[in-house]
Each structure stands twice: as C-alpha cells, then as structure tokens.
C-alpha cells in the first residue's frame, strides 16, 4: 500500500500569508513523534524534555525522533534540506511553543 506524505513549509512569507491549522490527531499511540530541540531556546528545551518523558509513558508513542537544526546559516533551500530526513521519519512533530 502506498501512502503520500504532504510536507508543509513552516516558513512564512509575511503577516498576510495565513495558513489553516493542521487537523487534530486523535491519538499519539503507536505513532512516531518528532521533537525539534534547540539549546538556545531554553524555555522550549525544558518543554521538549517534558514531552520526551510524557510521550512514551502517557501517550504511548512508538518512537521519538529529535531534530536539532544547529546553526542556521546558508540559503533557505539549504535549511529546508536539513529537515527532509526528519520529516520523512515521523508521523507528527512539535516544533515550538507558539509564543
């Protein structure tokens, strides 16, 4: 059985480039959760550590994949290529706090 993965570009073209929210996921059980981590964003790092603990114990995810973008230099295309493997390895991701 073949499946299609739709990759969404998380970058914004500006305040008028509005996108609808992704549909809610009914359950995390048995899925692969991706977490973006970043040592420079301490409040999110603490939250990601909490999610790592809770995702297996409470939400029973099958696996957890961490992605650290490291230094953000280069072109937008180079930055997009950094996340390709991460996106293909997961069912869903938490990438920030929405602050």
| Tokens matching residue 93 | 């991701």
**Domain limits of the chain?**
32-94
pTM: 0.68
Asked whether 48 and 37 are in contact (CB, 8 A), the reply is yes
Strand partners of residue 55: none
Question: For residue range 15-58, what is the model confidence (pLDDT) as tens digits?
Answer: 776 778 878 888 999 999 999 887 777 888 888 889 999 998 99
């Amino acid at each position: 059985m073949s499946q299609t993965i739709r990759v969404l570009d998380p970058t914004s073209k500006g305040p008028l480039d509005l996108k609808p929210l992704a549909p809610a996921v009914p359950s995390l059980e048995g899925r692969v959760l991706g977490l973006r981590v970043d040592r420079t964003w301490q409040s999110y790092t603490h939250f990601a550590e909490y999610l790592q603990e809770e995702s297996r114990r409470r939400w029973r995810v099958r696996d957890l994949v961490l992605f650290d973008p490291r230094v953000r230099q280069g072109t937008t295309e180079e930055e997009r290529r950094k996340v390709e493997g991460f996106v293909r390895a997961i069912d869903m991701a938490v990438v920030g706090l929405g602050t």
